[in-house]
Amino acid sequence: MAAPGVKLIVRVFFHDKCFDGASSAAIFSRFYRERIDPKVEFRYTGMTHRASKPFEEDVFDGDENAIVDFKYSSSPRLTWWFDHHQSAFLTPADAANFRADHSGRKFYDPTYKSCTKFLATIASEKFGFDAKPLAELIHWGDIIDGAQFASPGVAVGLKEPAMQLALVIEAAPEPNLVPKLIPHLAQISLAEMIQLPIVAKHLGPLLERHRRSIEIMRERGQARDGVIFFDVSDLDLEGYNKFIPYYLHPECLYSVGVSASPTRAKVSIGTNPWKETDADVNLATLAEKYGGGGHARVAAISLNPEDLARARQIANEIAETLRHP
Ligand SMILES: [Mn+2]
């Protein structure tokens, strides 16, 4: 506990532009305030997967420093960690550092479909946190991050408040928007979240862009031997809905896409969630060969923006591998 009148500063690093990352940060904050220390000020830092080292030592500037839904750091200043990504450790040394940790505050389980549900479960079971008021958020965190939608039409239709909020979190062109949403996310309903002016102002234009992106993918996507390939790196389309390829080509098992933004060139690889039982390629392992990572069923490789030609080459190689596994 901090001294009377003094607020503890807790820095929370979370997977940025990701519904699961935002809801993990929100649930962590509510849990911390209710079960660890009520006099706390949270500072949120969104993390994106980049080619270079994600955490420099000087970023851990809180009294406590937490990472949720993102890679481990072996920094002694890291005091809390929750993750479920297969590629959670940048190096074997980081993995060894985690295994040697006995703080009881760093948790990893790649069998969870969402960090949201993992964090809520650990907080309840080990720290007596009441996660019941967050049932809606946990339910949707697991559906969205685990791609457990009933059909491609549900995933692409974006009718539910949770789906609309996920769109704003993933694609709103406003820097540092998600840290402004996190303080509300574990406090009000998802229907109320999308009424917040900072969410509502983005929703209309993003839904329109989403409809346009479906048409672009319809024109660009090439489906062959069970793999959909598309290159949208010449367009401002990063953050497109990753289920559109399967909505347009439900017969395909894998998708491989190339996109670009001012900060990176990106190869995205995915498995059709509605045909998952047919899949036998671990995409995280495949991506790791090219310096990327992710989950068994969805993974990505991020390169520097000037390496777009290399990204295209990698995407073509991976598409060829997936056509003939
Ligand atoms: Mn996640």
Q: What does the pLDDT read at residue 60?
A: 95
Q: What does the pLDDT read at residue 51?
A: 52
Percent of the chain's residues with pLDDT above 90: 86
Q: What does the pLDDT read at residue 48?
A: 85
Whether the per-residue pLDDT at 12 is higher than 90: the answer is: yes
Beta strands 64-68; 80-83: pairing state? parallel
Residues lining ligand 1 (ion), CB within 5 A?
20, 69, 115, 145
Number of H helices, E strands in the chain: 12, 11
Q: How confident is the model at residue 6 (pLDDT cuts 50, 70, 90)?
A: confident
Q: What does the pLDDT read at residue 78?
A: 97
Q: CATH 3.90.1640 in the chain, residues?
A: 8-197
Distance 69 CA to ligand 1 centre (A): 5
Q: What does the pLDDT read at residue 15?
A: 95
Q: How far is the C-alpha of 155 from the C-alpha of 247, rounded, in Å?
A: 8
Average pLDDT for 52-65: 88
Distance 84 CA to ligand 1 centre (A): 7
Q: What does the pLDDT read at residue 25?
A: 98
Q: How confident is the model at residue 53 (pLDDT cuts 50, 70, 90)?
A: confident
Average pLDDT for 64-70: 98
Amino acid (1-letter code) at residue 245: P
Any idea which architecture 222-323 has in CATH?
Roll (3.10)
Segment 294-308, tens digit of pLDDT:
989 999 999 999 999
Segment 195-250, tens digit of pLDDT:
999 999 999 999 999 999 999 999 999 999 999 999 999 998 877 888 999 999 99
Distance 280 CA to ligand 1 centre (A): 21
Q: CATH 3.10.310 in the chain, residues?
A: 222-323
Distance 115 CA to ligand 1 centre (A): 5
Segment 161-186, tens digit of pLDDT:
999 999 999 989 999 999 999 999 99
Distance 255 CA to ligand 1 centre (A): 20
Q: What does the pLDDT read at residue 27?
A: 98
Cβ contact 141:20 at 8 Å: yes
Which helix (H) or strand (E) element contains residue 288?
helix 283-288
Q: What does the pLDDT read at residue 2?
A: 52
Segment 18-47, tens digit of pLDDT:
999 999 999 999 999 999 999 999 999 999
Q: What does the pLDDT read at residue 325?
A: 80
Cβ neighbours of residue 297 closer than 8 Å, sequence gap 6 or more = 147, 270, 271, 273, 276, 279, 283
Calculate the average pLDDT of the chain: 94
Distance 145 CA to ligand 1 centre (A): 6
Distance 241 CA to ligand 1 centre (A): 16
Distance 114 CA to ligand 1 centre (A): 5
Distance 3 CA to ligand 1 centre (A): 35
Q: How confident is the model at residue 56 (pLDDT cuts 50, 70, 90)?
A: confident
Distance 148 CA to ligand 1 centre (A): 13
Q: What does the pLDDT read at residue 167?
A: 94
Distance 28 CA to ligand 1 centre (A): 14
Distance 154 CA to ligand 1 centre (A): 20
Distance 279 CA to ligand 1 centre (A): 21
Q: What does the pLDDT read at residue 224?
A: 97
Using alpha carbons, select from 118, 110, 108 the residue that is nearest to residue 138: 118
Taking domain 8-197, whether its CATH number is 3.90.1640 is answered by: yes
Whether the per-residue pLDDT at 75 is higher than 70: the answer is: yes
Whether the per-residue pLDDT at 1 is higher than 60: the answer is: no
Other residues' Cβ atoms within 10 Å of the Cβ of residue 30: 22
